[in-house]
Each structure stands twice: as structure tokens, then as C-alpha cells.
């Protein structure tokens, strides 16, 4: 099988902007204002994405037969890949992860061997008017068989990589195979054996379950990656659903600039949510890289303060809209808003292209702490700091667990990061030893990655004492940090 040509062995690291477009019919409406553009007109698609500087497109390849209008014929995908390659661009094949139907298998597998079993013994499924799909058990041998078919097919059709959506393990499968896998995964942990199931946050068992879910996600990726390696596709990255617990463990880390124009929260009907990959990595929590979040009225975009916007970027050159998957006939307002955003982008293209990275502070986000869903302190503290920094015009970016990029900032803020392993603590200590300044809030660094108490908290290790209500952070700018209610702050100045 011939490999696709690329500028380097790891072409995805040479990107200016990675991935735009998604479901075929809406590509034109979002990228060029022409809603009739579809996979049937690949040259027109390339023209529009070239105009906004995208170098890799996420295109639908195979989703199964149960959802209307989602899965184009392979020949259509092949033609789009041809047009993109001729223009020097790449295409990532979008497929479903563990909700995929079994159409790729030689024969229908035994349902009890490959389907997700709930605690009450029922099969987990997703049934809606236009979508009927079962969830697959994350330890099922089905994955090897599926990946062995879909990955070579995607490569043959011209894909430069493959994206596996829906690989998250949000719930535990209760089949005997998964329960035994949990026992084997945690048998050497302090406090083992653990009781299988969901447990109150902050307990060692809850931490074990959380890490087991991440392990299952990683195993799904590795099964796909094994197929890739056996096929000799060295330049063919396997990408899985960002925002799930796999971030930092494989090639997805290289796709820093996935940009989405998404449904807003909490009012899904009236708000548009714009961000880059930090949206995924923080799984829905507003990130430091949001240029405009929860926009109430897109007609006011022309008054955007570009000086302030510049600092909110995190390595990206340009914002590119992402097509909505929702039913446009049922929610036409989203398409209208997307069109207005595209018009805004067109008018200010030069400004966006020339933005430089500039951040005064780094906000530390912990996936381990976020996984403690019953521990709201971290989330409220994180949001509070994000809002405060934004309101006061202080530019910042997001860093994640074990992210050595903290050394690139002057100030590191750790908002109630409860769980931190020894490597993270040492990383912060090294940052401080080199002259970095930190702000610790709440119970930061009091528990390790398994939920067990550290002998000394991070504040104690750094020799910090509680600060007053106000502390000067950047004296040259007269910036003041005011302590919100119900939080204890530690400052290292």
C-alpha cells in the first residue's frame, strides 16, 4: 500500500492550522457562505478552505448506516482527498469509535460479546428518531476486527490519518471481561482490592475507577495504532476524541489547534461557542484560548478589541468554523449565526492571520481533579479565575497535567488542583526555583494521583503562607489580584 507524500515524517507537526469542516453539506455554509457546497463539489470545498489557510480537513469517511445523511460513498471521499492533496493539504478520515455498527465485520458478532452491558444487565444504546446505535464494550475483541478493516480502507481512499470519535468510557461496562480487567489493572495499587462501580469522589476507589476508564480509552487507541504499524503507515496518525482522558498520551497532543464553532452552553439554542483544542481538553469548560465565548449577539463582533483577543490565542494563526451536526431544519438559527461569523471572519482575515502568541499568565487545568465529578471546588475555582482574568484584560493560556509549558510563563495559577502526582509537584517546584511566580488556591496539591494524601501539600513544600485579600502580581502594570469569597489564596511573589 502506497504511503501518502508529506513534507516530513510527522507532517501534523508542521501545521499552521489543523482541521476544519466536518459533515459534508454544511461545509460551504460555514467556510464560504455557499450552503449548497457538498462532497459532490470537492474543488469548491478546497477553494474555500484554502482562502482561510487550513492545512488539514476532518472529513466524514464511515459512520455506519443508522444515521441519515452522515456517511458519504467512499468514492466521494476519495475525490475530496484528491482535490486536497493537489492543493497541498491533508484530510483526516472521521469514523465513529465504540458506537460504530458492525458493518465492517465479516459476520455479525455475538451481541453479548461486543456490546456494552449496564449494571442492571441491559445493553447500553443510543436511540433517537434518526439514530439507532449500540455502544461497544471497551474490552471487546471486536475492535481489532473493526480497525483491521476501516484503517486500510481509509488509507486506500487517500486519508492522511484517521479520527476515532466516541472513544470515551464515561460509564463502566459491567460485563465479566471488564470487571476482570479492572481487578488486574488495580491489583497492585495501595488499598486494593477495590469494589467495581462508581464511588464518591475523593476516595481511593473513585481514583482507581477514573484511572481504569482512562486505561480503557488508551487501549482502544493502541488497538488502532497496532493496525497502523502493521500496515506500515508511518505517516498516518491515529486521532481519538479530544477532551476525553487520552490527551497527552499519543499523537492527539500534536493537534493543538483543532477549532470548533460549537453549540454554546448553557443555552444551546441561542449561543455560539468558539474555541480551539482547549475546549476539548477541558471537556466543555471554557478555556484560556477562547476568543469569544458564550456570544449573545454576534452582530457586535465588529467591535471586538483585537489587542485583547491577541493574548487569548494559543499558537493558532486563524479561527476556522466547524460545521454543526444538528438538524438545520429544526434549528435554523445556528446556521444563520454561523454565516454571520463567516462574514465577520472574511472582513478581518488579515488581523487574524497576523496574531502573535502573548500570555501574561498560565492557568493550570487538572484532568485528574476534574474527573472527581463530585468535587466542585476545582471547577468553580477554575471558572472564577478565568472570568476574573478575562474581565481584567489579563491574557492567559491553559496548561495541563504534566505540561512542561509552564516554564514559558511568568505566572502560574493553580485553582484548587486537588490531585497532583509527584512529577507535577516537582515541576512546579522547579518553576518556582527558576524565579516563576505561582498562585495556589484551595487544596491544591494535597492528594496524589490516586487520591492518597501527600505528606506535605504543595503550599507547604513551597513554604507559602495564606495571602491577604489583595496581592500585587505585576507591579509594573499595577495589576491587583483580589481574593473571591470562600477561597484561600497562596501567593508567591
Which of 1-5, 102-106, 162-166, 312-316 is most confident? 162-166
**Interval 65-72 mean pLDDT:** 47
How far is the CA of 118 from the CAs of 4, 135, 137, 178, 213, in angstroms?
42, 10, 10, 11, 15
Name the helix (H) or strand (E) containing 415.
Answer: strand 411-415
The pLDDT value given to residue 334: 43
The pLDDT value given to residue 43: 81
- Beta-ladder partners of 127: 132
- Least reliable range by pLDDT among 148-157, 214-223, 397-406: 397-406
Residue pointed to by grid coordinates 478581518: 348
Note whether 11-353 and 361-492 share their fold: no
**Interval 119-135 mean pLDDT:** 71
* CATH label, 11-353, candidates 3.20.20, 3.40.1110, 3.30.160, 2.60.120: 3.20.20
Which cell numbers in the block locate residue 146?
Answer: 473493526
Which cell numbers in the block locate residue 134?
Answer: 449500540
Q: What is the pTM of this model?
A: 0.52
Regarding beta strands 90-96 and 56-62, do their DSSP bridges make them parallel or antiparallel, or are they unpaired? parallel
| Domain boundaries 361-492, CATH class | alpha beta
**Domain extents in the chain:** 11-353, 361-492
pLDDT digits (tens, 9 = 90+) for 259-272: 332 222 222 222 22
In 3D space, the residue among 260, 493, 290, 281 whose CA is nearest the CA of residue 402 turns out to be: 281
Chain mean pLDDT for the chain? 60
The pLDDT of residue 318 is above 80: no
Query: Of all residues in the chain, what percent are helix, strand and coil, respectively (each to 5)?
Result: 35, 15, 50
The pLDDT value given to residue 477: 29
Q: How many residues does the chain have?
A: 493
The pLDDT of residue 151 is above 80: yes
The pLDDT value given to residue 317: 26
Local confidence band at 343 (pLDDT 50, 70, 90 cut-offs): low
Amino acid at each position: 500500500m502506497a504511503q501518502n507524500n508529506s513534507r516530513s515524517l510527522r507532517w501534523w507537526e508542521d501545521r499552521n492550522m489543523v482541521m476544519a469542516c466536518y459533515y459534508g453539506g454544511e461545509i460551504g455554509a460555514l467556510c464560504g457562505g455557499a450552503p449548497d457546497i457538498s462532497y459532490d463539489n470537492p474543488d469548491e470545498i478546497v477553494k474555500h478552505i484554502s482562502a482561510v489557510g487550513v492545512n488539514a480537513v476532518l472529513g466524514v469517511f464511515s459512520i455506519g448506516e443508522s444515521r441519515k445523511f452522515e456517511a458519504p460513498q467512499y468514492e466521494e471521499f476519495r475525490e475530496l482527498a484528491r482535490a486536497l492533496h493537489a492543493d497541498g493539504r491533508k484530510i483526516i478520515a472521521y469514523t465513529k469509535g465504540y458506537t460504530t455498527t458492525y458493518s465492517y465485520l465479516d459476520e455479525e458478532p455475538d451481541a453479548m460479546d461486543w456490546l456494552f452491558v449496564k449494571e442492571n444487565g441491559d445493553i447500553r444504546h443510543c436511540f433517537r428518531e434518526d439514530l439507532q446505535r449500540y455502544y461497544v464494550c471497551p474490552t471487546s475483541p471486536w475492535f481489532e476486527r473493526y480497525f483491521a478493516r476501516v484503517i486500510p480502507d481509509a488509507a486506500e481512499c487517500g486519508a492522511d490519518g484517521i479520527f476515532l470519535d466516541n472513544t470515551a468510557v464515561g460509564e463502566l461496562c459491567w460485563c465479566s471481561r471488564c470487571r476482570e480487567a479492572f481487578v488486574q489493572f488495580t491489583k497492585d495499587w495501595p488499598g486494593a482490592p477495590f469494589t467495581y462501580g462508581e464511588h464518591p469522589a475523593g476516595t481511593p476507589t473513585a481514583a482507581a475507577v477514573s484511572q481504569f476508564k482512562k486505561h480503557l480509552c488508551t487501549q482502544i487507541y493502541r488497538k488502532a495504532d497496532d493496525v497502523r504499524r502493521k500496515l506500515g503507515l508511518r505517516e498516518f496518525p491515529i486521532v481519538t476524541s479530544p477532551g476525553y482522558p487520552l490527551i497527552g498520551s499519543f499523537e492527539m497532543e500534536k493537534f493543538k489547534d483543532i477549532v470548533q464553532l460549537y453549540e454554546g452552553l448553557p443555552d444551546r439554542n441561542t449561543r455560539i461557542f468558539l474555541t480551539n483544542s482547549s475546549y476539548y481538553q477541558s471537556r466543555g469548560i471554557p478555556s484560556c484560548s477562547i476568543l469569544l465565548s458564550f456570544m449573545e449577539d454576534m452582530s457586535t463582533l465588529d467591535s471586538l478589541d483585537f489587542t485583547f483577543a491577541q493574548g487569548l490565542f494559543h499558537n493558532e494563526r486563524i479561527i476556522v468554523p466547524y460545521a454543526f451536526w444538528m438538524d438545520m431544519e429544526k434549528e435554523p438559527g445556528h446556521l444563520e449565526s454561523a454565516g454571520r461569523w463567516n462574514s465577520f471572519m472574511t472582513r478581518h482575515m488579515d488581523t487574524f492571520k497576523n496574531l502573535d502568541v502573548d500570555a501574561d499568565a498560565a492557568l493550570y487545568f487538572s484532568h485528574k481533579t476534574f474527573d472527581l465529578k463530585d468535587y466542585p471546588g476545582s471547577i468553580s475555582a477554575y471558572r472564577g479565575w478565568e472570568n476574573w482574568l478575562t474581565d481584567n484584560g489579563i491574557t492567559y493560556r491553559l496548561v495541563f497535567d504534566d505540561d512542561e509549558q509552564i516554564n514559558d510563563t511568568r505566572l502560574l495559577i493553580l485553582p484548587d488542583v486537588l490531585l497532583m502526582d509527584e512529577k507535577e509537584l516537582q515541576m512546579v517546584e522547579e518553576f518556582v526555583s527558576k524565579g516563576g511566580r505561582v498562585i495556589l488556591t484551595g487544596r491544591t496539591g494535597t492528594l496524589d494521583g490516586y487520591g492518597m494524601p501527600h505528606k506535605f501539600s504543595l503550599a507547604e513544600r513551597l513554604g507559602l503562607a495564606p495571602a491577604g485579600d489583595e496581592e500585587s502580581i505585576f507591579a509594573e502594570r499595577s495589576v491587583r489580584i483580589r481574593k473571591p469569597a470562600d477561597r484561600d489564596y497562596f501567593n508567591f511573589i
